[in-house]
Amino acid sequence: MAETTANSDAASSEPAQKRGFVQSLEIDIRLLGMIAAFIVICVVFNLLTGGRFLTPRNIFNLTIQTVSVAIMATGMVFIIVTRHIDLSVGALLATCSAIMAMMQTAWIPQFFGLEIGHPMIPWITIIIGIAIGTLLGSFQGWLVGYLAIPAFIVTLGGLLVWRNVGWYITNGQTIGPLDETFRAFGGISGTLGAQWSWIVGALLAAGALYALMAARRAKLAHQFPVKPMWAEALVALFAVGGILGFIAILNSYQVPERVLQRQFAARGEEVPEGFTAAYGLPISVLLLIAIAVIMTVVAKKTRLGRYIFATGGNPDAAELSGINTRMLTVKVFAIMGALVAISAVVASARLANHSNDIGTLDELRVIAAAVIGGTALAGGVGTIYGAILGALIMQSLQSGMAMVGVDAPFQNMVVGAVLVLAVLIDTIYRKRTGDR
Amino acid sequence: MAVAETLESPKPVDRSGTPLVDLRDISIAFGGIKAVNQVSVDLYPGEVVGLLGHNGAGKSTLIKCLSGAYHKDAGEIYINGEQATINNPRDARRYNIETIYQTLALADNLDAASNLFLGRELTNLAGLVDDAAMEAETRKIMGRLNPNFKKFSAPVSALSGGQRQSVAIARAVYFNAKILIMDEPTAALGPQETQMVADLIDELKRQGLGIFLIDHDVHQVKNLCDRAAVMKNGELVGVVDVDAVSVDDILAMIIAGKRPEHLS
């Protein structure tokens, strides 16, 4: 007893000078592992496809295909961290999508008398859609938190219910075309263009630098040890380089000539000689970035986030500390519902219409993304950036295999195997490092 | 145990005023079994009352009615002479009741500061959790309670039993508890850390806190407590002044469920 105390104290009070390269950077090793896995996947597929995988066009497509699942995965982190599960997200997405499709094409024009194409329609649709998603999420959270029905059962029921509520609302029909402004949230039909992309990129880079500086200043103010300046600079360099590099890649994806011709023809003009335009940052990706930042702040810097992780770590301790864990469950599921509704906007806008099978199997992709991203099903552990990276890894695998020409059944087999393998590696890693 | 030698005997407890806590006729049953049956115990400021009994005697159950973890079936709780309604741990906190549980009530995945401030986080002007300020406060109080404590950024799962216990005690001390419930606070500790807890209890007594101490160790209760309340099979055997009885007397109460003859 006394020995172990002495040992552990000695280990922790060891002077900070003898730290390794990675420790000095103070970066999550799990994050480094995921980034490495992602890079390996990209490089391998790039070789297999003869350089077609890492083109600006494919990277652009990859990001917009990832957004919907990634947005939901950030919410799933909170759900799994609090030791719950949500199997209903794909089905709930279909219900939200169906409601929003019907609102903009039928209900608002019929009952509010706004003509199709009225500029208010997409915004009313989105606000009501998110409100409904939040409400349905809270309802499931209430069933779990207050009525103590296991989340697995509530959301398994929800999977059947919401899938078919969506079907009932639309009579199983495909609803479209969706409003043009609404479709701008889908990806390729709503991008910022080169100039605005650079502006946003610069703002993001400045924000990242400020966050790093503020963290260092807070530590210095209380005379806590800080990492060496070179490590700080290296992290900053990677952050800024990553952000601006990403923008540069998206900006180098040129709008094809015939698309430009169509755009100009619609205005009755000719395409000027030598005119080119870049797509730049899609609005949907900007939306994902905003959600990622907000969710990270919630997780790390708010009481709500602290209670979510405390409850996941030890529900009894959380309850005894005066945290209302039942209400917390409702809040976590409400956040999930809101994010599902936002994903519904992105997913249906990307397809330009609502189809009956939208979001099918998304629950599994979302859970897999969160788990590959290091969220522990035992609760208490998980990160937002991990879940987004997990979604990106899954999507890269899937599109990469499609590009290489792997048959569809094999694609899903590989993705399934990768999920199991990722958890195995994580389990071994945790055992080695003595983490829980 | 080194407790006996160092503990100076403090001045006797003044029991003339209103009791800090007055538990009256508390009963609670689980599926027909009366875990606690009409038990009454009181606690005065600056007093340590030990709760003794076999496993399953009902001492932890009784005290959980005060800490809000259980809901009593019958009986009343008076805090400073006023009837108190305690339905959950949040209510208990409002009455400045802090509990240090036998199964350490810490979130293993969070660090010491997050645990110390759990449920009462310090926030900055923007309403965001101020980790740096909380860590600074934690360093201050741990410097007082357990100067050897260094692992401020590690999750508490990486700490030893004593280190974890000092986090739990620091939580109670930091938030100015008036009534402290300690459920076997030294069960997982080595001799040195037990001494640390004993000194701390003495210090808290001097500051006028009332402490309920649940313990199995009769010697410890005799050393640390002013009175001992012994329970058996959910019923109160008796409350005795520890200076008026011997260790054997207390043991007889625990085992036979009878008050010592010279007192009855």
CB-nearest partner of B101 from A320, A434, A436 = A320
Query: d(Cα B174, Cα B119) in Å, to the nearest integer?
Result: 13
Domain boundary among B131, B160, B176: B176
B129 and B185 together in one domain: no
Average pLDDT, integer, range B107-127: 89
Report the 10 Å Cβ neighbour count for A233: 11
Does residue B101 sit within a domain?
Answer: no
B86 and B192 together in one domain: yes
Does residue A296 sit within a domain?
Answer: no
B50: β partners: B213, B228
Binding-face residues of A in 45-104 toward B, CB within 8 A: none
Question: Chain A interface, mutation test: which of B97, B116, B118, most A Cβ atoms within 10 Å?
Answer: B118
Does residue B111 sit within a domain?
Answer: yes
**What are the pLDDT digits (tens) for B22-68?**
999 999 998 888 889 899 999 999 899 999 988 888 888 898 899 88
Q: Structural domain of residue A419, as residue ranges?
A: 28-190+303-433
**What are the pLDDT digits (tens) for A135-153?**
999 999 999 999 999 999 9
CB-nearest partner of A310 from B67, B118, B123 = B118
B115 versus A11: the higher-pLDDT residue is: B115
Nearest CA in chain A to B93: A322
Q: CB of A323 within 8 Å of any CB in chain B?
A: yes
Does residue A10 sit within a domain?
Answer: no
Nearest CA in chain A to B163: A5
Q: Structural domain of residue B47, as residue ranges?
A: 1-96+178-264
Q: Are residues A320 and B67, on separate chains, in Cβ contact within 8 Å?
A: yes
B114 and B236 together in one domain: no
B156 and B235 together in one domain: no
What pLDDT does residue A8 have? Answer: 39
Q: Are residues A317 and B105, on separate chains, in Cβ contact within 8 Å?
A: yes
The residue to which tokens 């719950």 are assigned: A84
B41 and B115 together in one domain: no
pLDDT < 50 regions, chain A:
1-18, 436
Does residue A17 sit within a domain?
Answer: no
User: What tokens does B144 get?
Assistant: 């007082």
A128 and A211 together in one domain: no
B87 and B209 together in one domain: yes
CB-nearest partner of A301 from B107, B128, B133 = B128
User: Quick check: A227 and A236 in contact, CB under 8 A?
Assistant: no
Does residue A290 sit within a domain?
Answer: no
- Maximum Cα interatomic distance, chain B, rounded to a whole number of Å: 65
Average pLDDT, integer, range B156-165: 81
B151 to chain A: which residues are within 8 Å by CB?
8-9, 12
Domain boundary among B176, B210, B231: B176
A226 and A274 together in one domain: yes
User: Quick check: B105 and A314 in contact, CB under 8 A?
Assistant: yes
A98 and A153 together in one domain: yes
DSSP A229-255: HHHHHHHHHHHHHHHHHHHHHHHTSBP
Of residues B229, B205, B202, B172, the one with CA closest to residue B45: B205
A169 and A225 together in one domain: no
Under the banding of pLDDT at 50, 70 and 90, the label for residue B103 is low
Residue B4 has pLDDT above 50, yes or no: no
CB-nearest partner of B109 from A8, A321, A436 = A436
Report the 10 Å Cβ neighbour count for A289: 17
A126 and A222 together in one domain: no
A140 and A276 together in one domain: no
B67 and B118 together in one domain: no
A202 and A331 together in one domain: no
B22 and B92 together in one domain: yes
B120 to chain A: which residues are within 8 Å by CB?
322
A128 and A197 together in one domain: no
Does residue B32 sit within a domain?
Answer: yes
> How many structural domains are present in chain B?
2
Question: What phi, psi does B21 have (nearest 5°)?
Answer: -130, 135
Does residue A223 sit within a domain?
Answer: yes
Residue B3 has pLDDT above 80, yes or no: no
What pLDDT does residue A159 have? Answer: 96
Nearest CA in chain A to B67: A320
Average pLDDT, integer, range B131-137: 89
What pLDDT does residue A1 have? Answer: 35
What pLDDT does residue B145 have? Answer: 74
User: Quick check: A76 and A369 in contact, CB under 8 A?
Assistant: yes
> How many structural domains are present in chain A?
2
Q: Are residues B118 and A317, on separate chains, in Cβ contact within 8 Å?
A: yes
A184 and A150 together in one domain: yes
What pLDDT does residue B102 have? Answer: 61
User: Quick check: A87 and A159 in contact, CB under 8 A?
Assistant: yes
Does residue A244 sit within a domain?
Answer: yes
Does residue A263 sit within a domain?
Answer: yes
What pLDDT does residue A229 have? Answer: 85
User: What tokens does A137 get?
Assistant: 């999420």
